């Protein structure tokens, strides 16, 4: 045997041991191997497969699904520019080009010396302090030209990430308006003690009384969900916190977890009390990797304080603990059944429903999946009672909602309001002027034009998962919709035909319009695809992939009509454009190398 230590073997052995050889942790293992070795080499898959006794197809199927796992070398430094529309508005593409030029590389390709790659990624949740990027999955905010230049220097000098200036990695909470949730300064254990004093039955009664509804967007009654899960038969019950905050423009969970992690974990513990659950999992999006260690530290502190573990708060039989699973770049895992698949170490494909997670969730057992904000809010109910909570907000939408405000405004950040707040109130508070449109709840939500700013944030009017992106009169709403369509095409899981192919066809049509080949025919095609996506798709991603297009067509039609430069149909194919690779290969760009100029001459 060779005496040279094999870093791949060591990395695989370490991660397999850390996760007790449990194949359900395969995504965590792959992620840790990637962190240790910069990519997942075939030898790593060999070793992992052998250690876990899994077929190779299973490991490769999972590794191939997640954007942040690489089965081909992508460099020691992997730079991903966040590509939400808010990053675009702050000039991210110019910064990306600058970095590529300085590093002498092409976007999406690894440098020849294997040192670095630069590409884009879906919104990283730093919209209020963008443009943002990730280096080896660690977030860097407020990127500008000098920062790009400095980063290029650090990469060229091969400085370890840990030695980069801390300032680059600074993530501010930017809480602009606090209400009952962000303003609640609860001591760790306070709400849990109140919940224990009430007991499981009474806690559920208070939750139902509170009319608390899920904050992830769908708005299902939290009390009913917990009760249905409690009543469902199973060998174990599970509590899952959905912190896969992937909807572009949303970043409230990031702040809740960085500033109020105790509240979130405490809400999960209350849920465990209600269900009789012993295990909880928090699924943290891969873009928030930087928070993993601090969150684990909070969990450890809570264990030391008797708020997690065996006999919580001295109550015999109240045994509950929480572990954190990190995602790896897949928006679809925010869908609760896809999230459960991912937790089980599978590809993040949404399940056929019914059955729903409350009866058949993690490992087919009864499982509550709630949003970060929902768990946090449940603490307030446990402490102050359902009647008090139901008195906040509107009759159909109790409590408060945290909005993640970004885009064209003076004061981006978090705004917590009681439900029922009007869009114009929020716009005034964040210092937005000359507003053309607001995209509420991200690309899968709704785009509002100026005439609708009197509408209210509430389940009965505009439900939202929290994103609130502001566009002033300078912005081109077609470009906004096109960015969102690209997002959906990139994030489609590929399971069902309409979404897998339809989102790509929609992207191609939007690009065709953008490239000046659009005609009224293409417009009709877009509307036809929208119908198919809505009617035939497997899950919410496909159903909502056309929302931004439908909304902007309805409300900002001139932005599209400017693109319909042709009266008659013309193909998307452009012969001159198709010659570009040949021009690049031959290093030519003279008149003779262009179709149009040859015809003219």
Partner 1 sequence: MSASFTIDGKAVPFAEGQTIIQAALAAGVYIPHLCHHPEFKPHGSCKLCTVRISGRQSASCTTLAQAGMAVESDTPALNDERRTLTQMLFVEGNHFCPSCEKSGNCKLQATAYDLGMMTAHFDHFFPSRPVDASHPDVLLDFNRCILCSLCVRASRDVDGKNAFALSGRGIKTHLIVNAKSGRLADTDVTLQDKAVRVCPVGVFLRKDRGFNVPIGRRVFDLKPVSAYVDATAALAKE
Interface with partner 1 includes 41 (CB under 8 A)?
A: no
Least Å distance between CB 497 and partner 1?
5
Least Å distance between CB 495 and partner 1?
5
Q: Determine how β-strand 133-135 pairs with β-strand 77-82.
A: antiparallel
Convert residues 515-544 into a mask of x (bound to partner 1 by CB under 8 A) and - (unbound).
Answer: -------------x--xx--xxxx------
Least Å distance between CB 74 and partner 1?
16
Radius of gyration of the chain (CA): 25
Measured from the CB atom, is 464 or 503 closer to partner 1?
503
Task: Say how far apart CA 71 and CA 248 lie, in whole Å.
Answer: 26
Convert residues 455-494 into a mask of x (bound to partner 1 by CB under 8 A) and - (unbound).
Answer: ----------------------------------xxxxxx
Helices (H) and strands (E) in the chain, counts: 26, 14
With CB under 8 A as the contact rule, the residue among 497, 514, 565, 584 that binds partner 1 is 497
Least Å distance between CB 486 and partner 1?
12
Nearest to 126 by CA among 142, 147, 137: 142
Measured from the CB atom, is 269 or 492 closer to partner 1?
492
Interface with partner 1 includes 572 (CB under 8 A)?
A: yes
Interface with partner 1 includes 411 (CB under 8 A)?
A: no
- The piece of 432-440, 451-459, 496-504, 575-583 that touches partner 1 (CB under 8 A) is 496-504
Interface with partner 1 includes 496 (CB under 8 A)?
A: yes
Least Å distance between CB 548 and partner 1?
18
Least Å distance between CB 536 and partner 1?
5
CB 350 within 8 A of CB 227: no
Enumerate residues 140-179 that contact partner 1 by CB under 8 A. none
Q: Which residues pair with 456 in a beta bridge?
A: 422
Interface with partner 1 includes 579 (CB under 8 A)?
A: no
Nearest to 134 by CA among 184, 90, 78, 172: 78
Nearest to 95 by CA among 158, 140, 31: 140
Measured from the CB atom, is 537 or 552 closer to partner 1?
537
With CB under 8 A as the contact rule, the residue among 7, 10, 61, 569 that binds partner 1 is 61
Interface with partner 1 includes 66 (CB under 8 A)?
A: yes
Nearest to 559 by CA among 480, 476, 436, 486: 476
Report in angstroms the alpha-carbon separations of 435 from 234, 313, 476.
52, 51, 12
With CB under 8 A as the contact rule, the residue among 60, 173, 236, 344 that binds partner 1 is 60
Least Å distance between CB 438 and partner 1?
28
Angle made by CA atoms 87, 92, 97, in degrees to the nearest 5:
160
Q: Determine how β-strand 175-177 pairs with β-strand 413-418.
A: parallel
Question: Count of residues binding partner 1 (CB under 8 A)?
Answer: 44
Measured from the CB atom, is 504 or 566 closer to partner 1?
504
Q: Record the tokens describing residue 182, joined without a space.
A: 């962000």
Element (H, E) at 217: none
Query: Using H for helix, E for strand and C for coil, what is the string for 426-462?
Result: HHHHHCCCCEEEEEECCCCCEEEEHHHCCCEECCCCE
CA–centroid distance for 359 within its chain? 26
Angle made by CA atoms 454, 253, 35, in degrees to the nearest 5:
140
Measured from the CB atom, is 55 or 114 closer to partner 1?
55
Angle made by CA atoms 236, 238, 244, in degrees to the nearest 5:
155
Enumerate residues 313-352 that contact partner 1 by CB under 8 A. 330, 347, 352
Interacting residues toward partner 1 by CB under 8 A: 42, 45-46, 55-58, 60-61, 63-67, 330, 347, 352, 489-498, 500-505, 508, 528, 531-532, 535-538, 571-573
């Amino acid at each position: 045997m060779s005496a040279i230590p094999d870093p791949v073997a060591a990395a695989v052995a370490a991660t397999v041991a850390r996760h007790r050889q449990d194949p359900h942790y395969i995504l965590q293992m792959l992620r840790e191997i990637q962190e240790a070795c910069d990519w997942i080499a075939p030898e790593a898959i060999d070793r992992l497969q052998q250690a876990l006794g899994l077929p190779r197809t299973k490991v490769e199927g999972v590794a191939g699904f997640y954007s942040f796992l690489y089965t081909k070398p992508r460099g020691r430094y992997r730079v991903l520019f966040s590509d939400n529309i808010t990053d675009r508005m702050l000039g991210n593409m110019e910064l990306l080009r600058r970095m590529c030029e300085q590093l002498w590389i092409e976007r999406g390709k690894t440098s020849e010396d294997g040192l670095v790659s630069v590409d884009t990624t879906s919104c990283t949740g730093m919209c209020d302090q963008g443009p943002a990027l990730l280096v080896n999955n660690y977030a860097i905010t407020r990127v500008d030209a000098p920062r790009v230049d400095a980063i290029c220097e650090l990469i060229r000098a091969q400085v370890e990430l840990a030695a980069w200036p801390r300032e680059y990695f600074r993530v501010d909470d930017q809480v602009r308006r606090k209400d009952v949730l962000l303003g609640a300064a609860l001591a760790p254990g306070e709400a849990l003690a109140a919940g224990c004093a009430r007991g499981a039955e009474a806690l559920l009664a208070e939750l139902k009384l509170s009319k608390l509804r899920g904050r992830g967007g769908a708005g299902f009654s939290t009390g009913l969900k917990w009760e249905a899960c409690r009543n469902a038969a199973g060998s174990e019950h599970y509590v899952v916190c959905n912190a896969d905050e992937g909807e572009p423009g949303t970043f409230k969970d990031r702040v809740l977890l960085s500033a109020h992690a105790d509240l979130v974990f405490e809400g999960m513990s209350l849920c465990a009390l209600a269900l009789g659950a012993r295990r909880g999992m928090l699924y943290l999006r891969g873009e928030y990797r930087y928070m993993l260690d601090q969150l684990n530290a909070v969990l450890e502190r809570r264990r030391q304080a008797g708020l997690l573990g065996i006999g919580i708060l001295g109550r015999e039989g109240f045994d509950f603990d929480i572990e954190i699973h990190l995602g790896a770049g897949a928006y679809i895992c925010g869908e609760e059944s896809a999230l459960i698949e991912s937790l089980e170490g599978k590809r993040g494909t949404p399940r056929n429903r019914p059955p729903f997670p409350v009866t058949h969730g993690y490992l087919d057992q009864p499982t509550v999946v709630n949003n970060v904000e929902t768990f946090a809010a449940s603490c307030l109910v446990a402490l102050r009672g359902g009647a008090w909570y139901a008195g906040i907000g509107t009759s159909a939408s109790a409590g408060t909602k945290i909005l993640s405000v970004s885009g064209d405004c003076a004061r981006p950040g978090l705004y917590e309001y009681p439900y029922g707040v009007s869009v114009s109130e929020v716009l005034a508070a964040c210092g937005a002027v000359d507003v053309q449109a607001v995209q509420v709840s991200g690309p899968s939500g709704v785009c509002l034009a100026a005439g609708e700013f009197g509408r209210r944030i509430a389940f009965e009017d505009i439900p939202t998962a929290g994103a609130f992106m502001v566009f002033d009169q300078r912005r081109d709403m077609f470009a906004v919709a096109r960015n969102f369509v690209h997002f959906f095409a990139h994030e489609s899981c590929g399971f069902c035909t309409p979404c897998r192919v339809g989102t790509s066809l929609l992207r191609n049509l939007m690009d065709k319009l953008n490239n000046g080949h659009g005609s009224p025919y293409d417009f009709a095609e877009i509307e036809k695809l929208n119908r198919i996506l809505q009617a035939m798709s497997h899950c919410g991603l496909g159903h909502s992939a056309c929302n931004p297009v439908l909304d902007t067509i309805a409300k900002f039609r001139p932005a599209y009509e400017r693109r319909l430069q042709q009266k008659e149909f013309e193909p998307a194919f452009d012969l001159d454009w198709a010659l570009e690779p040949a021009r690049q290969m031959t290093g030519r760009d003279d008149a003779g190398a262009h179709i149009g100029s040859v015809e003219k001459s």
